[in-house]
Chains A and B, each alone.
Chain A
């Protein structure tokens, strides 16, 4: 059996490192630890939607910065602190979250953000 045959002989279930219960508990504990931070996140999300519907350069800049912070926050508090101990692949994913945050931050700081397109496409995009 060569290496490629060996890898294809694994079932997806063989590669799962943790049980469903552990994964569910991960979200339960994370949300319990954050409470009532979820309310703040909802308020921020609503503010970003409003900013996208009535955009100005400042509002868009703040929206991009808020998104950058959100990517870093998730990478640190969920991926690194909670998920990485049970999933060995997560440390390789975290840098991509940080990169995404950096790109969003750079865009907010270095350029003048603006939304292209007419009001309908903007409305659909915001809805999505």
Chain B
């Protein structure tokens, strides 16, 4: 019986990998080329500039069709060299979906597991982290963050103790929608964080003034969430012409244009777009390749979008 299960799993893995690797149009670039990386603070590890978010997209409950679809997204992500997948106990069944995908694809060695603790109770923190770990099926989380700064002081104490014990890899804090940057700045100054996660994209650039320079100064990695403002930014730009000079940075779509802008900022470690479609994940991953825009091109890109 065990052999039967394993062989079915292997077959599915092979089918998903084949599906992920075939028929790759120009917009996805050359999938054989490894994605560009940036170092993980305090380690020898380097991670691709594009990761995978799971807010909404992976919250599919126990629907077998949608679970399969999410697994196909993960298969495409890993096939393109992806590593960081981000989730949270706040994201409904997303953690279980990721766990399902990792088991189906046997991709535990490929994933850089990034999750969060999200509870106002200090005491519930470790219990919630353990429940999340079981959902993912990983031995330990590579990065664990305090979600939205909820009960951050107490949780950071827990997370630093867990890191000390080797129960998690790195420690971080998160915010989104440009909120609580003042508090985040204070915590970045006072605590030895490895990562912060915040909203950064071509129209949400508040982080550029203080948080990103501070992250560089303190050696803190930065994960950019809401790269497309949960699709709103893409919808706003859809139907408007992509500038002809976008080809200079090999951006073939608005999604690639926006992602190239984000990950070309030298202080951004990784952007984490979420999607339900394998072709979109390939399109996103393809941006983590040269050429990336330089400072002058970034200014031009931001001005162009601002003037649309």
Give the interface of A toward B (CB within 8 A).
1, 6, 9-10, 13-14, 16-19, 21-22, 25-26, 29, 82, 85-88
Does B71 have its Cβ within 8 Å of any Cβ on chain A?
no
Give the dominant DSSP class at B's interface. Answer: loop
Q: Known contacts A1-B179, A14-B177; decide if A22 and B59 are in contact (CB<8 Å).
A: yes
B side interface size, CB within 8 A: 20
Cα distance, A86 to B230, chains bound together (Å)? 18
Q: Is the CB of A17 within 8 A of B59?
A: yes
Which of A1, A6, A22, A82 has the most CB atoms of chain B within a 10 A radius of its CB?
A22
CB distance from B59 to the nearest CB of A (A): 5
Residues in B30-79 with C-beta less than 8 Å from chain A: 56-57, 59-63, 65-66
Give the dominant DSSP class at A's interface. Answer: loop
Residues of A within 8 A of B104 (CB): none
Q: Is the CB of A25 within 8 A of B90?
A: no
Q: Is the CB of A17 within 8 A of B179?
A: no
Give the interface of B toward A (CB within 8 A).
56-57, 59-63, 65-66, 90-93, 96, 177, 179-180, 230, 232, 276
Q: Is the CB of A22 within 8 A of B61?
A: yes
Question: Which of A10, A13, A25, A82 meets B65, CB within 8 Å?
Answer: A25
Residues of B within 8 A of A22 (CB): 59-61, 63, 66
CB distance from A64 to the nearest CB of B (A): 32
Q: 11 additional contacts, CB 8 Å, given A13-B232, A85-B92?
A: A6-B179, A6-B180, A13-B230, A17-B92, A18-B92, A22-B59, A25-B60, A85-B96, A86-B59, A86-B93, A88-B92
Cα distance, A88 to B62, chains bound together (Å)? 15
Closest to B182 in A: A1
Cα distance, A87 to B92, chains bound together (Å)? 6
Please list 14 pairs of residues, one from A and one from B, whose beta carbons are closer than 8 Å in the complex, sorted by A's number.
Answer: A6-B179, A13-B230, A14-B177, A14-B230, A19-B56, A21-B276, A22-B59, A22-B61, A25-B60, A25-B63, A25-B66, A26-B61, A85-B62, A85-B92
